[in-house]
Chain A
């Protein structure tokens, strides 16, 4: 029995705007000629900006549509802004990057925009099936993007690995959704939450199994240990701009759905999942940080460090409640800024034929390219959690939430992990400022888009670190709109 629900256009507005942009870029690509295709990138950025503005104007009028399957609450809108930011900066830095590669520009931009559409669907979805739809829209686009540099063997390999393991994880996710449907008779989060509140016996057991399977599916997408094994290879192999998008956008989208499902839909099972997440958080932080110490390739190092950051975010989820949830949202925003910036620096150091991704390639960069070095230093210190940068503010909120909820042990493990992470982040600074090197790198000023990306992210990393309270207030309001 299917009841005809009126189409909630407002709910779809951001998604529709961006889909339109993506299609426009795809069509325009056909008419563009010549080597200079920056116009396509700018078109995408304008579309993302419009979407972001639309999201902001919707802030005070949250609406649910499609029989409670999608919702443009503040939670979704907050994530929309993160996605627009991540995708916009990815496009911006790609414009300087693509000239070094033989990647087809039009497809590349279109796929990034479609991946962003998928992310937005994931954040707005209040139904497990819609989450699955969003996940697939995003993932398929990113599978292709990971392998889009076809002449590079490692890019192809990354795409294949990501696709195979991603499909596997999707299987777990679907299976989990089926279990939850079996237990509660619905895939809508509100209904599931209502059922779980009073479920018992077999139903509850079935739901717990479903929850565990969902955990595996999400664990893969956010790269939590022990579901992280694909991350370093894929991050290393993919074109650097796509690595940035994966580390930031895909991860944020996965956390958007993860947090909404667990903290809202499966809140009734929190007694079960919080113990598991506690363990996952400890494992993820520790393995990520310890293995990152051993890396000699900067992209692999950032891959492991992004695993570690997923661990910190899990701390916020374990802490649960208003503080924990808001902290997760704030952290994702800050993490997006500093990580995009770091990848922009990695790209700035590469040149045609030489990616310059080994740590030794950073020797002496700090003094030869003062701004490049300064930017990287800011990002590394922020990722390590040194005040007054946004990475510190984020960690502060996360650990404050954990301590407030009584998870002192988890907070202590978290801060000790930060010490370990300091070692390898500082290792980059050692290379840049304390060793003499000869790597000859084109100055970033010759690539204005990269420079612009770095400028934006550096300024935001510092500003949000010194004055975090405004952004945190947004994150808090966003989280409170859940349920």
Chain B
């Protein structure tokens, strides 16, 4: 089941790649409809998901590289379930949006998008560290092409920067994975995540390993001060690339903390919490302040991502049920809201070929449907009650206040700042007189654009007014997750004999 969900996009991509280059409409249609298959499959999985079970479900496991005890092992639990759905939900929308924003090499664009989906889904469901690493790195390649081929003027610089930043973190993590797998216990190496959860490591090793994992994930999140690749990548990427990047790819960083860095090395994580939480709060405030002064809409949204992901990190590192659930919920929210924001910015860019806020003004009169969509998405992004963003931010702040009241207090100011820059931006773009004559003829949303945006708006409202079904499926997993961490922290400093062998490096 999971294997099918993970690999159908890739197969669909290969199928699209084999089509005739000239049949643009056929390619669009095929890619879109084929991408609905994994979505349907994942909905089916959602129906079969046991909401009371906090453990792994739909597990599939086969030997892959027996000499190193590497297994092809996948499964979902309440932590990853919704991220899988987010991925399968957003990808068809992005492919549909490609109707208006991709003008060259459509076939290859569709292929890379679908291949990227396979990489992301695989990373979300992998339960073997080696397998996870493979998916983690595989994602780089399509994203690199998406930015580099279909991006803006400085796309090559942005693409290479993205690849190099991510690779530095990823490869150091690989060394950590190797160390963990070969040294964690006597005898056979093991890459099995569920097994490694139960291994307790001495402090010294935990600190180093946590540092390596945390670096990789922090780059991906991206946490301040490792965020510099993000605005470049976002601004240069095509609209679809930005949506996927912000909507899903960044979640892999926070998911990595949730799934690997924290539960594998909980004591080191607890030690690092003050620093990480501080960086997260700096990210929240810094991201918001920088977003405020951006003249470019897309950059504004990109920096707002830095701010929002700071909230997610703050929640995850609160290490209590509210914080963690809020963090996961906020990951989904950010995927939907920011994805929608990038799509909306893309709509404007499509029409005017500029994203400068100063170029617009008074658009409400000209494009009322567009303005209403934008309004809802923007309000969700700043966390208006009744929309999804509120639920996540509320839970996170609740958890954070329990864990670190002072940091939470500062973070709250980020909420205010978020409202400031968003509302100010909205006002400058939408209200006032229609000053720029170039905007006087802009058409309102087309039917395709509406078809892309409406599912997102529905989800934004649904998750805001009725969060129960989402939260209830997370809760058992979060409880089990925190219990495991607690147990492991209690059992700390039982040094395993393997680590007594020091390093041999001269």
* Chain A residues at the B interface, C-beta cutoff of 8 Å: 275, 278, 367, 381, 386-388, 392, 396, 399-400, 403-412, 415-416, 418-419, 422-423, 426, 429-430, 433-435, 468-469, 472-473, 476
> Which segment, of B366-374, B432-440, B496-504, faces chain A?
B496-504
With contact pairs A275-B506, A419-B167, A422-B164 given, residues A434 and B156 touching in the complex (Cβ less than 8 Å)? yes
CA distance A381 to B148 in the complex (A): 15
Q: Is B159 an interface residue (CB 8 A)?
A: yes
B167 touches A399 (CB 8 A): no
Q: Is B105 an interface residue (CB 8 A)?
A: yes
Q: Is B140 an interface residue (CB 8 A)?
A: yes
A399 touches B174 (CB 8 A): yes
A399 touches B148 (CB 8 A): no
CA distance A55 to B29 in the complex (A): 52
Q: Is B186 an interface residue (CB 8 A)?
A: no
B172 touches A415 (CB 8 A): yes
One of A278, A403, A423, A468 near B175 (C-beta < 8 A): A403
Chain B, interface size category, equals: 35 or more
8 contacts between A and B (CB under 8 A): A367-B108, A406-B501, A406-B505, A409-B505, A415-B175, A418-B167, A419-B171, A430-B148
CA distance A419 to B501 in the complex (A): 29
A416 touches B182 (CB 8 A): no
One of A388, A410, A429 near B134 (C-beta < 8 A): A388
B501 contacts across to A, CB distance below 8 A? 406
Shortest distance from the beta carbon of A403 to any chain B beta carbon, whole Å: 4
CA distance A275 to B504 in the complex (A): 10
Shortest distance from the beta carbon of B36 to any chain A beta carbon, whole Å: 26
Q: Closest 4 A-B residue pairs measured CB to CB?
A: A415-B171, A406-B504, A409-B505, A387-B134
A399 touches B178 (CB 8 A): yes
A416 contacts across to B, CB distance below 8 A? 168, 171-172
* Chain B residues at the A interface, C-beta cutoff of 8 Å: 64-68, 105, 108, 130, 133-134, 137-138, 140-141, 144-145, 148-149, 155-156, 159-160, 163-164, 167-168, 171-172, 174-175, 178-179, 181-183, 189, 501-506
B148 touches A476 (CB 8 A): no
A405 contacts across to B, CB distance below 8 A? 504
Shortest distance from the beta carbon of A40 to any chain B beta carbon, whole Å: 37
B504 touches A407 (CB 8 A): yes
A406 contacts across to B, CB distance below 8 A? 501-505
CA distance A1 to B171 in the complex (A): 58
B67 touches A472 (CB 8 A): yes
Shortest distance from the beta carbon of B241 to any chain A beta carbon, whole Å: 14
A399 contacts across to B, CB distance below 8 A? 174-175, 178
B160 touches A433 (CB 8 A): no
B67 touches A473 (CB 8 A): yes
B506 contacts across to A, CB distance below 8 A? 275, 278
Closest A-chain residue to B151, C-beta based? A434
A381 contacts across to B, CB distance below 8 A? 141
Shortest distance from the beta carbon of B41 to any chain A beta carbon, whole Å: 22
Shortest distance from the beta carbon of B395 to any chain A beta carbon, whole Å: 36
B174 contacts across to A, CB distance below 8 A? 396, 399, 415
Closest A-chain residue to B168, C-beta based? A419
A434 touches B149 (CB 8 A): yes
- Seed contacts A399-B174, A408-B179; 15 additional CB < 8 Å A-B pairs: A278-B506, A367-B105, A386-B141, A399-B178, A400-B68, A400-B182, A400-B189, A403-B178, A404-B183, A404-B189, A423-B160, A430-B148, A430-B160, A433-B149, A468-B65
